[in-house]
Chain A
Amino acid sequence: MNANEKCRAAEALLHENGLPGARVRAEGHAEEIAAVNVPPESVAKLAALAPAIKALGFRYVALDLSE
């Protein structure tokens, strides 16, 4: 999967698992980070889903703090 496909797959996974508004971008010099936009109160749920997101080909899962 390319980075865009990985992001779409990660978003689908998050949507199916109770994070309907989640958006994912690939960040890092090797696009190895799934940068996820979710509300702060959803971070625990996101952390629980991190292994599944990494299984899509990301090395790290992070909350996007960019404004």
Chain B
Amino acid sequence: MVSGQGTAPVERTGRVLRGGGPEAGELRSTGRLYYISCNRRSWRARPGDTARLVRGPAAGYLGAVRTVCVERQRDESESMRDLIGAWARGSSLEERYERLVELIEGYGSVCVGYSGGVDSVFLAKVCVDVLGADRVLAVTGRSASYPAVQWEMALECARRFGIPHEELETEEQLDPRYAANPTNRCYYCKSELWSKLTALAAERGYAVVADGSNADDAADFRPGARAGAEWGIRSPLAEAGLTKADIRELSRRHGLPTWDQPAAPCLASRIPYGLAVTPARLQQVERAENAIRALGFREFRVRHHGVAARIEVAPSEQPRALAMARELGRELRSVGFERVLLDVEGYRRGALNEGLPVLAALP
């Protein structure tokens, strides 16, 4: 059960209390949706829930929909997706950005999980703009699954935009539950990262730890998000309803070089579930992707299938990949793959999740 923030215990009697007091209204599923937000997590309210409106800085809100606090069983299947969608559809980009600024102002100080990707660079930059550099620390968790090319971008952006930055060694690969590469692998990786980062933030006196999850992520299969919720990690970009496209546009306006950078998840995401994540495989993927990058390709993935590599390139680059099939094959064989394959459907996000029988296999 979750508890409310500064509210009296509430019952589950089928009513949502509105106005923080005696004013009560039945929960309706038509028109505006009501949401439950407790301990920095949110759920869409269901008929049968009872909740109390929360006011003041402890309460989040989405547009005109004030969040309510309720005591009920957690239901992770109904999490941020509907919540964010409702707000994002009814607001402008400027309003969502304004909401982001408000959220960050409310933090006072913040430690940002900073990978050097589009989202976290933008978030760290806005945090510095809003709070000042002395109240922000961007931290990069580094391990064998973190690509060197991403580290270079993280360093460059931190230096160029005055973002205080540190690295933190993470050792998720030592956890056999992670190394076995189950469908919820990201949960174990993020648990390792957030456990270390929250400890560091507490030691240094940062009030909040935030990540760069965006509103689109809430609609994807992201077991790592559960670890974030367990460690109390805030996701202000998602909470403000900012989508990836929004963040790219705002990054462009802020002059960030990452605005059109392809998405760059960790190297372990190239290894299909069930095939063990090992340092050797991660290194092989990184070398293969570096080789393809050197051939001038921009948006692609090398998926590791044991002795076979399956290359996914963006549809716009597919004709060039076909023309360079011989070179691609040669380069990938040189890093140890016996078989080299070019996916005919091209690069798409979350390709390794395709066809999974159960997406919600969480601990």
Do these two chains really belong together in a complex?
yes
Quick one: given A27-B305, A27-B308, are A33 and B341 in contact (CB under 8 Å)?
yes
Quick one: given A35-B308, A40-B322, are A62 and B342 in contact (CB under 8 Å)?
yes
Q: In the bound complex, what is the Cα–Cα distance between A10 and B272 (angstroms)?
A: 23
Interchain CB contact (< 8 A) of A61 among B323, B343, B355: B343
**Chain A neighbourhood of B325, CB < 8 A:** 40, 63, 65
The 6 closest A-B CB pairs, nearest first, are A62-B341, A28-B305, A65-B329, A29-B306, A47-B344, A65-B340
Q: Does B310 touch A at the CB level, under 8 Å?
A: yes
Quick one: which of A24-67 are within 8 Å of B by CB? 27-30, 32-33, 35-36, 40, 43, 46-47, 50, 59-67
Chain B proximity of A24: nearest CB distance (Å)? 12
Q: Does B328 touch A at the CB level, under 8 Å?
A: yes
The answer to whether A29 touches B344 (Cβ under 8 A) is no
Quick one: which of B304-363 are within 8 Å of A by CB? 305-306, 308, 310-311, 322-323, 325-326, 328-329, 338-345, 351, 354-355
Quick one: given A59-B354, A65-B325, are A30 and B341 in contact (CB under 8 Å)?
no
Quick one: which of B232-274 are within 8 Å of A by CB? 272, 274
Quick one: given A28-B305, A29-B275, are A43 and B310 in contact (CB under 8 Å)?
no
The answer to whether A63 touches B344 (Cβ under 8 A) is yes
Chain B proximity of A4: nearest CB distance (Å)? 17
**Chain A neighbourhood of B322, CB < 8 A:** 40, 43, 63
**Chain B neighbourhood of A61, CB < 8 A:** 343-345
**Chain B neighbourhood of A60, CB < 8 A:** 310, 343, 345, 351, 354
Interchain CB contact (< 8 A) of A28 among B308, B311, B323, B342: B308
Instruction: Give 17 CB contacts A-B under 8 Å.
Output: A27-B339, A28-B310, A30-B274, A32-B305, A33-B310, A33-B341, A40-B325, A50-B344, A50-B345, A61-B344, A62-B341, A62-B344, A64-B339, A64-B340, A65-B328, A65-B329, A67-B326
* Chain B residues bordering chain A, tally (CB within 8 A): 25
**Chain A neighbourhood of B339, CB < 8 A:** 27, 35, 64, 66
The answer to whether A64 touches B345 (Cβ under 8 A) is no
Chain A proximity of B82: nearest CB distance (Å)? 29
Q: In the bound complex, what is the Cα–Cα distance between A50 and B344 (angstroms)?
A: 8
Q: In the bound complex, what is the Cα–Cα distance between A50 and B345 (angstroms)?
A: 8
Which secondary structure dominates chain A's binding surface? mixed
**Chain A neighbourhood of B323, CB < 8 A:** 40
- Residue from the set A46, A47, A66 with the largest chain B CB neighbour count within 10 Å: A66
Q: In the bound complex, what is the Cα–Cα distance between A66 and B342 (angstroms)?
A: 10
The answer to whether B341 touches A35 (Cβ under 8 A) is yes
Chain A proximity of B139: nearest CB distance (Å)? 35
Q: In the bound complex, what is the Cα–Cα distance between A48 and B340 (angstroms)?
A: 21
Q: In the bound complex, what is the Cα–Cα distance between A27 and B306 (angstroms)?
A: 9
Interchain CB contact (< 8 A) of A66 among B311, B340, B351, B355: B340
Quick one: given A59-B355, A65-B341, are A30 and B272 in contact (CB under 8 Å)?
yes
Chain B proximity of A29: nearest CB distance (Å)? 4
A9-24 interface code vs B (CB 8 A; 1 in, 0 out): 0000000000000000
**Chain B neighbourhood of A47, CB < 8 A:** 344-345
Chain B proximity of A44: nearest CB distance (Å)? 9
The answer to whether B344 touches A33 (Cβ under 8 A) is no
- Residue from the set B325, B328, B351 with the largest chain A CB neighbour count within 10 Å: B325
Q: Taking A32-B355, A63-B325 as given, write out 8 further A-B residue pairs in contact, using a Cβ cutoff of 8 Å, ordered by the A residue number.
A: A27-B339, A28-B272, A28-B306, A33-B308, A35-B308, A60-B343, A62-B343, A66-B341
Q: In the bound complex, what is the Cα–Cα distance between A20 and B306 (angstroms)?
A: 30
